[in-house]
Amino acid sequence: MIDKYTNSKMATSSSMDLEIDCIIKLGGSAVTFKEKFETPNMEAIRQAAILIAKIKKKCIIVHGAGSFGHFQAKEYGVAKGWNGQADIDLVRKGFAITRVSVLKLNQLIVEELVNHGLPAVSYSCIGSWQTDNRKVLKSDVDSISSLIEAGFIPVINGDCMLDRSLGCTILSGDTIIEELAEKLKPKRVIFLTDVAGIFDKSPEEKGAILLSRVMVSASGELQTSIATSTLTHDVTGGVAKKLQTAQAIVTKSMGRTPVIVCKLDSKDAELVCCCGNEDYIGTLICLSPTS
Ligand code: ATP
Ligand code: IP8
């Protein structure tokens, strides 16, 4: 059977044979004004929908929380978990409030994609994934694969999670992508943010240089020194966490899944997402050729 949306034969086999072209993270820094409480960047969300509508291959969209979720998670200590906390009820309340917030953003994103004619459906990890000390213990990639096989575009949010050791925690969209990349082996992973890529130091610092390539050794070490800064209310580690995720994806796939970081609102995002073009402004994180 031919799929009207992708123009390809509908997949009927296992997750591994799905041939996912790309997993895209819509960074919270790009789709929200991250420092302004619960403020979406509707123009950026619209740009994202236009971009995704041009991708005629199978893809998965993951989004971060930005100004939805991080503030509440920070205030109630949700990422630290309730185990060992004096007031478990308070953390539980924070967990619920954080979810309400991040799902508001998820709804805005999914709605915009659907308004652009895309078969986008919301998927949350909360019910079927579990972590242990913030590491993924159990995931449910098969449900996501089934949605893709049925012709949908899953839109997955960074989430609140039950954690075996901590009681609960925050599962970053970046960690969700690491798990999906390992199981589904996409051709590439793309992080779309509010800046042009990875810089040698915070892009807000004078003289910061955009790194077009960052190499990872086979044993998983970054071969470039990169200084980063993180907003105080970011509970999942900011761009340093993104670099760790990229390192893990590149190493675990033995270089077969490269990671690209570029600006959402740019022509470069289109080149990378739609064509896998190499002539873009951004950062390619890949396996060192000497590995
Ligand atoms: P979220 O986790 O909310 O989804 P995100 O995935 O968009 O957010 P962030 O964790 O906010 O990403 O990281 C992107 C931010 O990191 C940018 O806004 C940038 O200013 C900042 N940053 C700090 N240091 C660097 C660096 N060396 N290179 C690139 N960006 C950096
Ligand atoms: O912004 C965080 O996901 P991230 C999710 O991708 C919540 O790190 C709920 C704060």
> For 176-211, what is each residue's pLDDT tens digit?
999 999 999 999 999 999 999 999 999 999 999 999
Q: Among 26, 67, 70, say which to mutate for ligand 2: greatest number of ligand atoms within 8 Å of CB.
A: 70
Residue 100 predicted with pLDDT over 90: yes
Cβ atoms of 79 and 168 closer than 8 Å: no
Strands 213-216, 283-287: pairing is parallel
- Residue 280: pLDDT band by 50, 70, 90 thresholds? very high
Residues 6+ apart with CB under 8 A from 90: 76
- What pLDDT was estimated at residue 16? 56
- Residue 14: pLDDT band by 50, 70, 90 thresholds? low
- The better pLDDT of the pair 13, 116 is held by 116
What's the gap in Å between 249 CA and the centre of ligand 2? 19
Look at the chain and report how many structural domains it folds into.
1
Both tokens of residue 219? 């044993």
Phi, psi angles (nearest 5°) of residue 13: -105, -160
What's the gap in Å between 55 CA and the centre of ligand 1? 24
- What pLDDT was estimated at residue 1? 46
* pLDDT tens-digit series, residues 111-152: 999 999 999 999 999 999 999 999 999 999 999 999 999 999
What's the gap in Å between 255 CA and the centre of ligand 1? 23
How far apart CA 181 and CA 141 sit, in angstroms, is 10
* pLDDT tens-digit series, residues 221-238: 998 989 999 889 998 888
- Residue 11: pLDDT band by 50, 70, 90 thresholds? very low
Report the pocket of ligand 2 as residue ranges, CB < 6 Å: 28, 64-65, 69-70, 73, 98, 102, 158-160, 170, 172-174, 235-236
Q: Among 189, 239, 281, say which to mutate for ligand 1: greatest number of ligand atoms within 8 Å of CB.
A: 239
Containing structural domain, residue 225: 4-287
Report how many helices (DSSP H) and strands (DSSP E) the chain contains, helices first: 8, 12
Strands, E, within the chain: which ranges? Answer: 22-26, 59-63, 120-123, 130-132, 135-138, 153-157, 159-163, 167-171, 188-193, 213-216, 259-263, 283-287
CATH number of the domain enclosing 43: 3.40.1160.10
For the chain, give the mean pLDDT: 93
Residue 5 predicted with pLDDT over 50: no
Measured from the alpha carbon of residue 32, the closest ligand is: 1
Report the pocket of ligand 1 as residue ranges, CB < 6 Å: 27-30, 34, 64-66, 173, 193-195, 198-199, 201-204, 226, 228-229, 234, 236, 238-239, 242
Mean pLDDT of 94-121: 98
Both tokens of residue 150? 């049925």
How far apart CA 282 and CA 291 sit, in angstroms, is 23
Cβ atoms of 123 and 156 closer than 8 Å: yes
Residue 6 predicted with pLDDT over 60: no
From the centroid of its chain, how far is CA 67? Answer: 15
Q: Which atom of ligand 1 has the smallest separation from the CA of 70? A: 3
Instruction: Output the pTM of the full model.
Output: 0.94
Residue 290 predicted with pLDDT over 80: no
